[in-house]
Every structure is written in structure tokens, then in C-alpha cells.
A and B are shown apart, each in its own frame.
Chain A
Amino acid sequence: MDIVIQFAYVVSAALFILGLKQLGSPATARRGNMISSFGMLLAIVAALLDQGIVDYQWIVIGIIIGGGIGATVARMVEMTSMPEMVALFNGFGGMASLLVGMAAIAPDAATFTLITIVLSILIGGVTFTGSLVAYGKLSERISSAPVLFAKQQVVNGLIVAGIVVSGLLFATNPDTGFWLLLVVVLSLAFGVMVVIPIGGADMPVVISLLNSYSGLAACAAGFAVDNNILIVAGSLVGASGIILTQIMCKAMNRSLSNVLFSGFGSGVVETTEVEGEIKPISVEDAYYVLEAASSVAVVPGYGMAVAQAQHVVKELMELLEENGCEVNFGIHPVAGRMPGHMNVLLAEADVPYDQLLEMDDINPRMETVDVAIVIGANDVVNPAARENEGSPIYGMPVINVDQARTVFVLKRSMASGFAGIENPLFYKENTRMLFGDAKESIGGLIREFN
């Protein structure tokens, strides 16, 4: 029987790999997800054949409760709440690995197994509380501002040292529950500590990193319970999370350690004066400009998600296209709160994905664009990143909307972006500010068209 189970795991690993491969192209992505879910089903069925299982009652109850909650939440969640949703699921996965680690402790366990148990508790615990903090920040239940205090690095260092020491002591005296408890408590505390200093706009990096951790936790749990499929699936997820993290860091021109430890945007003082004046524009005047435009680029940011403006944006896009205008979207990799956040929102509003251009594709054609419409984005279109060496975001690749003939910036007020960085874009000769709620402003434009 055991050999059947093991071969079933081999097949399900192949299905995961195939599924992930197909997730890489929009045309096959949905099928890929389906294939991967079959792999999961097969692995679970195979696991249930394990002869060590004598009592199915609690397994069935657990799967029904968990599956029911998962299915309900997945169906109810709003697309705009997707980042916190992913964070929460991540956290559950981490906690599950922690619990598997705890349950795998046996009196006769080898030292190597005990070390992997410590690892699965550590990574699982950090993933769990880290994801909960990320969830809190993303859903605005707690402030998304970075939390920094004196000697933070020292405290973190002590926690890490504490985890290492108590982990080693546990691995050598597994009978003493105290050290194990200490590992659990310190790991949970460490998860909180690593995420609180990170500000809202850096969330895409954190989410990808936690995603990677949840895979690595499963991987460690796989070592603890001696299960191949956990190791394979866990490391695939771990690797994919690390790649996304790298992409996000590159998109901000910052190193991972800078994102994790600097508390970016908490105490940055702007030193440069911006010249020029703000030129507001009315909805009516904006309409006249758009009506005459033959090429429009829309650059959305987190503000579009907050204002839930994706549907009106799509409506405006259709009106512009009926008017003979070419409309494209320029999506910055870190626009929003998770990788690909804007793409999901616009897909929800039925914007075809081939009209969503990546930064490197839209920038070369920016000079031919008549009107660039910036909706709730700020730092990702800030020309200071290109021009001003003193700026904290200098060197970050941005979408060069200032090179379009005219730029409309839809913005609530003149408050600056997350880092309190002045945006010289607002003062440029060709920039017009359309103040107010993005959804209402675009609604106004749509009414002018009709």
C-alpha cells in the first residue's frame, strides 16, 4: 500500500509542476490552476490510504470545517480585498505547518527530525503572525504606517538568538516541554516584529515573501514527518515566492534588506523645493481635452482600489474607444498592495489583459500619448525618481507619464504619497490636477461624454 501512496505522490508532484507551468500564460492559467488542484486532491486521497490512520472521524470533520470556511470566504471576498485575503490564507498555511511540526514530536525522534520540527515551528509561526499583521495593515484594521522604535534591531537580534538557543536546547532535550514552548512563543513574536516596521506601500514585497515562507514551512514540515510531496510542493511555492519578492524589490530599486529593515517612509525629510504651480482642471475642461485625444494611457494605483473606480474606468475606456481613441493601461509592478493587484481589479471590470501594458512596454510610447490619466497613483509616476538624486526614491523605475502631451492627475487632495515625498509631476507645465474622489471625477467625465 505504501508504494501506491508514494507513486500517487509522484503523480501529484507532476501535476503541481504542470499546473504551475500553465499558470504562466493567461490563455492556459485557468486550466493550470485546475490541474494543480487535481494534484492536491490526488495527494490528499493518497494520504488517506495511510495504514497508520485508524480513526477518520476527526479528519473528515476537519476537512469539512476547513473546506467549508475556505469555500465560503473565496466566494464572498471582494476583488479589492484580495491582498488581505491572500495574506490570511498564507497565515493559515503557516499555522498548519507549525501544528504539524508540534504533532510530529515523538519520544524516539532523531536529532535531525527534531531540528526540522524546530524549523517548521519557526517558519510556520513567523508566517502565521507575520501574515496576521499584514492582514491587519492591508485591511486597515491597524495602521499601515511603519512601526519603529529605538533598539528595534537589538530586540530582533535577541529574539533570533533566543530562538536558536531554545531550539538547540529542545533538540538535545526533547523531553523538556519548556524549550519547545519558548521556540513557539518566540517564533510567533518574531513574525510580528518582522512585519510591523514595513509600511503599506511595501506590502507587495511582504506578501510575496510571506507566500514564500508558507511554502518553506510546508517544506520543513515535510522533513519533520518524512513526506516527499510536502517537500516538493513546499519548495516550489518557496521558490516562486522568492522570485516574486525579487521582482518587487527590483521594481522599487531597493534591496530586500532595505525593505525589511529600513522602515522606509517613516522619517524621510524632503529637502528639495519643487518649482512651478499646481494647475487644477474642471471635469468639463478635462472632457474637452479627452474628446480631442487620439491616444490615452491610464496609470492606476492603490487609490483606484480604494475608490473602487475600476468599473467606471472601464466605462470611460469604452467611451473613449467609441470616440476613435486608443486606450492603454500602464501598470507599474508595485502599484497597489500586492503583485498584480491592478491587473486583477481591471480584469474584474472586464478590461482585456492585452490592453494592460507593463512599465517597460508603455514607457517607450509615452511621448506619443495625448493624455496620460493617473488614477490614485503617486510614487510610481514620480519623475523625481529619474531626475532628483536627493529624492528617497531616486533610481526607482517609474512610468514616465510626464512625457505625455498632457497629464491628468486624479487625486483627493494635495497630500503627498506614502513616504511624504513631494511629487514634482503635479507642478509640471503639462500637468492638470482633477481634484476629488476618483470614482466621482470619472463618473463626471462619463456624463459629459453622454
Chain B
Amino acid sequence: MVPAVVFLTFILMLSIFLGFELINKVPATLHTPLMSGANAISGITVVGAVSLAGTGHGDAAQWFGFFAVVLASINVVGGYLVTDRMLAMFKKKEG
């Protein structure tokens, strides 16, 4: 049985290459929305945080989880909304 760590590292390696390929050809005009959109994705930590905040143990770990949920939610919600607000402004020349 191959240890899980190997699979996780495999996923890591492939995603990094995929990330490079995806972003490589983004025009300069979209750099800011791309950055804030990517930023929102980095709030994915919230997914790890919820299970830590919901253990019901009432210990330090649960409180760390709770604050992580708060901060990551700011990151996710704020990031997506601000990106959308920016992208709504990008217009092509009419006609």
C-alpha cells in the first residue's frame, strides 16, 4: 500500500504545473482581478477550518478553528465579491 502522503504530494505537484499553465497567458489588463480571484480561492482554508471549529470540545483547538473560519470567510466572501465588482466594470468598446 502506497502511503497517502505520496498521493497528496502527487496532487500537489500536478496542481502546481496546472496552475502555471492556467495563468501563464492572462493579459495584463486582468492581473488585478486574477489576483483577487485567486486570493478568494486561497480562502479554501475555511474547508479545513469548519471541521476543527465543530468538534464541540470547547478546547483551544476549537477556538483556533472558529477564528480560522471567521478570517477565511472574510477572505472568501470579500475576495469573490470584490473581484466580481471589478470585472463588472471591464467593458469592450461599443460598436
Q: Using CB atoms and an 8 Å cutoff, list the residues of chain A in contact with chain B.
A: 16-17, 19-21, 23-27, 29-30, 32-34, 36-37, 40, 43-44, 46-48, 50, 52-56, 58-59, 61-63, 65-67, 69-71, 73-75, 77, 79, 82, 85-86, 89-90, 92-93, 95-97, 99-100, 102-105, 112, 207-208, 211, 214-215, 217-219, 221-244, 247, 331, 333, 338-341, 343-344, 347-348, 350, 352-356, 358
Specify which chain B residues have a CB less than 8 angstroms from the CB of A95 in the assembled complex: 68, 71
Chain A residues, CB < 8 A from B33: 23, 29, 33, 340, 344
> Which residue of chain B is the closest to A333 with respect to CB atoms?
B28
Shortest distance from the beta carbon of B29 to any chain A beta carbon, whole Å? 4
What is the minimal beta-carbon distance from B93 to any residue of chain A, in angstroms? 4
Known A-B contacts A33-B87, A104-B52, A229-B44; the reply to A66 vs B22 at CB < 8 A is: no
Minimal Cβ-Cβ distance residue in B for A86: B36
Tell me the bound Cα distance from A424 to B35 in angstroms: 34
In the complex, which residue of chain A has the Cβ closest to the Cβ of B88?
A: A30
Residues of A within 8 A of B44 (CB): 40, 43, 218, 229-230, 233-234
List B residues at the A interface (Cβ < 8 Å).
Answer: 4-5, 8, 11-12, 15-20, 22-56, 60-62, 64-94
B19, B66, B78, B83: the one within 8 Å of A69 (CB):
B78
Q: Which residues of B contact A17 (CB under 8 A)?
A: 18, 22
A-B contact count (CB 8 A): 378
A66 pairs with B90, CB closer than 8 A: no
Take A21-B22, A26-B27, A71-B81 as given contacts and tell me if A221 and B48 are in contact as well, using a CB distance cutoff of 8 Å: yes
A405 to B61, CA, bound (A): 66
Pick from A27, A63, A236: contact of B15, CB under 8 Å: A236
Q: Which residues of B contact A33 (CB under 8 A)?
A: 33, 37, 40, 80, 83-84, 87
B90 touches which one: A20, A63, A69, A353 (CB < 8 A)?
A: A353
B74 contacts which of A19, A58, A89, A215 (Cβ < 8 Å)?
A: A89
Q: For B12, what are the chain A residues with a Cβ–Cβ distance below 8 Å?
A: 219, 231, 235
By secondary structure, the B interface counts as: helix
Q: Please determine whether B64 and A353 come into contact, CB atoms closer than 8 angstroms.
A: no
In the complex, what residues of B have CB within 8 A of residue A225's CB?
A: 48, 51-52
A96 in complex: contacting residue of B18, B36, B45, CB < 8 Å: B45
B31 to chain A, nearest CB (A): 3
Can you offer 25 A-B residue contacts whose CB atoms are under 8 A? A20-B23, A24-B23, A24-B30, A25-B27, A29-B30, A40-B43, A40-B76, A46-B47, A52-B55, A53-B50, A54-B55, A55-B56, A63-B46, A70-B75, A70-B77, A75-B85, A86-B39, A100-B64, A218-B43, A233-B41, A239-B15, A243-B23, A244-B23, A353-B90, A354-B92
Q: Of the candidates A26, A62, A215, which one forms a contact with B42 in the assembled complex, judged by CB atoms under 8 Å apart?
A: A215
User: Which residues does chain B contribute within 8 Å of A92, judged by CB atoms?
Assistant: 43, 71-72, 74-75
Q: Interface centre among B5, B24, B36, B78, by most A CB within 10 Å? A: B78
CB < 8 Å neighbour of A93 from B42, B52, B86: B42
Complex: A136 Cα to B23 Cα, angstroms: 28
Contact status A66-B85, CB under 8 Å = no
Q: A33-B84, A358-B27 are in contact. Are A40 and B52 (CB under 8 A)?
A: no
Q: Is the CB of A50 within 8 A of B50?
A: yes
Q: What is the bound-complex CA distance between A20 and B32, given in angstroms? A: 13
Chain B residues whose C-beta falls within 8 Å of the C-beta of A36 in the assembled complex = 37, 40-41, 80
Also in contact, A47 and B51, with CB within 8 A (given A40-B44, A66-B71, A237-B19): yes
Q: Which 6 A-B pairs have the closest CB atoms?
A: A66-B73, A239-B19, A70-B78, A340-B31, A62-B69, A70-B77
Contacts of A214 in B (CB 8 A): 39, 42
Point out the residues of chain B lying under 8 angstroms from A66, CB to CB: 69-77
- How many angstroms from the CA of A77 to the CA of B86 in the assembled complex? 11
Q: How far is the CA of A344 from the CA of B5 in the complex (A)?
A: 41
Shortest Cβ distance from residue B50 to the other chain A in the assembled complex, whole angstroms: 5
Q: Say whether A211 contacts B90, CB under 8 Å.
A: no
Q: Within 8 Å CB of B28, what residues of A?
A: 247, 331, 333, 339-340, 343, 358
B41 touches A90 (CB 8 A): no
Q: Which residues of chain A are within 8 angstroms of B49 by Cβ–Cβ distance?
A: 62, 96, 99-100, 103
Q: A33-B37, A105-B61 are in contact. Are A240 and B29 (CB under 8 A)?
A: no
